[in-house]
């Protein structure tokens, strides 16, 4: 086991370590580092399944060395979240993922 990330195996291998903290914050309802976190993701390019406005929410995944929010995001669907998507290229593509039981706690 490494440090405080005892549940690291519960997260998909493709997610960067910084995403683990974001997922824990989502589960806890915050706090978040950026004012845009938790805002409605519009899905204007229709890269995610079509849903009513307000269904998707976006969250910043920190990019080490970046001076701004960077390109990495987690988008959730539902309230509470039932679907999870990760983008490392500022919404050009997404990978859907599931969380193992208890992963975000």
| Annotation says 90 is catalytic | yes
Q: Domain extents for the chain? A: 11-44+52-97
CA-based nearest residue to 16, from 97, 105, 100, 102 = 97
Q: Which of 18, 34, 45, 58 is catalytic?
A: 58
Beta carbons within 8 Å of 74's beta carbon, 6+ residues apart: 19, 22, 23, 26, 58, 59, 61, 84, 85, 86
pTM of the model: 0.86
pLDDT at 65: 85
pLDDT in tens, the chain (105 residues): 233 344 456 899 999 999 999 999 999 999 999 999 999 999 999 999 999 999 999 999 999 888 889 999 999 999 999 999 999 999 999 999 998 765 655
Burial of residue 29 (CB within 10 Å: 0-12, 13-18, 19+) is exposed
pLDDT at 67: 87
Residue 72: count of CB within 10 angstroms of its CB: 21
pLDDT at 104: 57
3 state DSSP class of 8: helix
| Annotation says 20 is catalytic | no
pLDDT at 100: 75
The per-residue DSSP string of 29-63 comes to: T---SSTTTTEEP--TT--S----TTSEEEEE---
Question: Of 3.30.428.10, 3.40.50.300, 3.10.450.30, 3.40.190.10, which CATH number belongs to 11-44+52-97?
Answer: 3.10.450.30
Q: Which of 18, 45, 90, 101 is catalytic?
A: 90
């Amino acid at each position: 086991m490494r440090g405080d990330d005892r549940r690291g195996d519960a997260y998909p291998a493709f997610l960067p370590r910084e995403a683990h903290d974001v997922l824990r914050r989502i589960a806890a309802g915050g706090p978040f580092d950026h004012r845009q976190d938790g805002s409605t993701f519009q899905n204007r390019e229709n890269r995610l399944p079509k849903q009513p406005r307000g269904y998707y929410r976006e969250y910043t995944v920190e990019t080490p060395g970046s001076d701004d929010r960077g390109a990495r995001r987690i988008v959730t669907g539902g309230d509470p979240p039932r679907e999870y998507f990760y983008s490392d290229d500022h919404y050009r593509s997404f990978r859907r993922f599931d969380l193992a039981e208890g992963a975000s706690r």
